[in-house]
Amino acid sequence: MEESRRRAYLEALGIPVWVPRTRGATAHAAAIPEVVEGRPGVAPYPSGTPLTPSPAGRAEPSDYRQSEGDGRDAGCVSSAVDAIEGLDWEALQARVRACTTCELHRTRTQTVFGVGNPAARLMVIGEAPGADEDRQGEPFVGRAGKLLDAMLHAIGLQRGDVYIANVLKCRPPGNRNPSLDEAARCEGFLRRQIGLVGPRLILSVGGIAARNLLGTDTPVGRLRGAVHEYGEDRVPVLVTYHPAYLLRQPEEKAKAWQDLQQAARLLRDAG
């Protein structure tokens, strides 16, 4: 990627860009700009969750709270997960579209399956659709989606180069956090997507995605930097902050940039 484009993407991400003051002068860091805010054509992000009044619409990673299930037999969940194994892309998408396994089907506008390259080397996994995603049927749109695009651009990737999915395929009302039961009932869909894509690396964004992929309540800040593994195939997993969280906490963008650089290195090493 040419330097001018890389610099523009880093500025959009909010990462300081080191440039020489004059020829031969000492380099210095540019100030982090308020880029995503107020950009023409950027749709407003969904309204806030009950955990925070922030308009970003996502909970801070450490704010994940376990929710009680609806009392249904866990064996039914296991059977539903097993029945998804072996489905191809078309059959899997049809199964998601027709899903009525949990109560979220009653309030959704449409399901949000996933988007991108079905043979991608990098898979990005978030938590659940928001209001914009529910309307458009595509994950990571709106302000957080624009920032995710900038994050991918910063390491030389386009949105279409990766595969993007969420733990949940339906929007929880009010953009609340997914319950444990809801996540369990969607687990088979995500597991099959990962199996079909066969990524070299998974980038887990946000605490809820990490909890469901790795089975841990450890905060994102403590999971960052290490290479975790998912599933029997031991797919490498990196954990970073959710773009919506970064919009609320721009001072954390430098850490997210470190995570992206680590992801780029792992992809290069994977060949």
Q: Tens digit of pLDDT for each residue in 126-138?
A: 999 999 999 999 9
Q: CA 160 from chain center: how many Å?
A: 15
Domain boundaries, the chain: 3-14+73-270
**How many CA atoms, within 13 angstroms, populate the side-chain half-sphere of residue 95?**
20
Note the pLDDT of residue 61.
Answer: 36
Note the pLDDT of residue 8.
Answer: 56
Note the pLDDT of residue 234.
Answer: 96
CA distance 11 to 108: 36
pLDDT at 110 over 50: yes
CATH no. of 3-14+73-270: 3.40.470.10
The lowest-confidence range among 42-46, 89-93, 111-115, 241-245 is 42-46
The pLDDT tens digits for 8-58 are 556 656 665 554 443 333 333 232 233 333 222 222 223 222 222 223 333
Cβ pair 117, 31 in contact under 8 A: no
The pLDDT tens digits for 120-175 are 999 999 999 999 999 999 999 989 999 999 999 999 999 999 999 999 999 999 98
Note the pLDDT of residue 62.
Answer: 34
Note the pLDDT of residue 83.
Answer: 79
For the chain, give the percent of residues with pLDDT over 90: 66
Contacts of residue 239, Cβ cutoff 8 Å, sequence gap at least 6 = 204, 210, 214, 220, 223, 224, 226, 228, 259
177 vs 259, more confident: 259
Question: How confident is residue 108, by pLDDT bands cut at 50, 70 and 90?
Answer: very high
Q: Give the containing element (helix H, strand E) for 166.
A: strand 163-166
Question: How confident is residue 195, by pLDDT bands cut at 50, 70 and 90?
Answer: very high
